[in-house]
Amino acid sequence: MSDGAAARDARLRGSLSQGVGYRTILPRVRRKRSPLGRWYRRNERAILGISGLASFFAFWQFGSMAGWIDPLFFSSPTDIVAAAIAEVQVPRFWDDVRYSLTEVTVGFLASFVLAVPLGLAIGWYRRVSFTFDPWLNFFNAIPRPALIPLVVLWVGLGIEMKIIIVFLGGFFSIILPTVEGVRTVEPQVLDVARSFRASSRRIFTSVVIPATVPFIATGVRLALGRLLIGVVVAELYAQTQGIGVLIGKSADSLQSDRMMFGILLFTLMGVITTEIAVRVERRLQRWRPNVNVEEGN
Partner 1 sequence: MDTTFALSARGVHMEYRDRKSDTNLVAIDTMDLDVAPGEFVSLLGPSGCGKSTFLKIVNGLLQGTAGEIRLRSGRSGREDAMVFQDASLFPWYSVLDNVAYGLICAGVPRQEARRRSIPLINLVGLEGFAERYPYQLSGGMQQRANLARALAVDSEILLMDEPFASLDAQTREVMQAELLRIWNAAKKTVIFVTHQIDEAIFLSDRVVVMSARPGRILADIHIDLPRPRGLDVKRQQAFTGYADQIWHLLTSHGVSVEPTPDVA
Q: Kindly report the number of other CB atoms within 10 A of residue 178's CB atom.
A: 26
- 192 lies in the binding site for partner 1 (CB under 8 A): yes
Dihedral sign for Cα 196, 201, 202, 204, please: positive
Dihedral sign for Cα 162, 235, 112, 97, please: negative
Q: How far is the CB of 193 from partner 1 (least distance, A)?
A: 8
> What is the rounded distance in angstroms from the CA atom of residue 225 to the CA atom of residue 148?
18
- 95 lies in the binding site for partner 1 (CB under 8 A): no
- 196 lies in the binding site for partner 1 (CB under 8 A): yes
- 200 lies in the binding site for partner 1 (CB under 8 A): no
- Name residues contacting partner 1, limited to 208-267 (CB under 8 A): 210-211, 213
- 189 lies in the binding site for partner 1 (CB under 8 A): yes
- Which pairs with CB-CB distance under 8 Å and at least 24 residues apart come from 137-145? 139/168, 139/172, 140/172, 140/176, 144/168, 144/169, 144/226, 144/230, 145/233, 145/237
Q: How far is the CB of 202 from partner 1 (least distance, A)?
A: 6
- 198 lies in the binding site for partner 1 (CB under 8 A): yes
Q: Which stretch binds partner 1 (CB under 8 A): 60-68, 149-157, 201-209, 235-243?
A: 201-209
Site size toward partner 1, by CB under 8 A: 21
Q: Which stretch binds partner 1 (CB under 8 A): 22-30, 76-84, 200-208, 240-248?
A: 200-208
- 197 lies in the binding site for partner 1 (CB under 8 A): yes
Q: How far is the CB of 75 from partner 1 (least distance, A)?
A: 49
**Closer residue to partner 1, CB minimum distance, 137 or 292:** 292
**Closer residue to partner 1, CB minimum distance, 240 or 285:** 285
- 207 lies in the binding site for partner 1 (CB under 8 A): yes
Give the binding site for partner 1 (CB under 8 A).
188-189, 191-199, 202, 206-207, 210-211, 213, 286-289
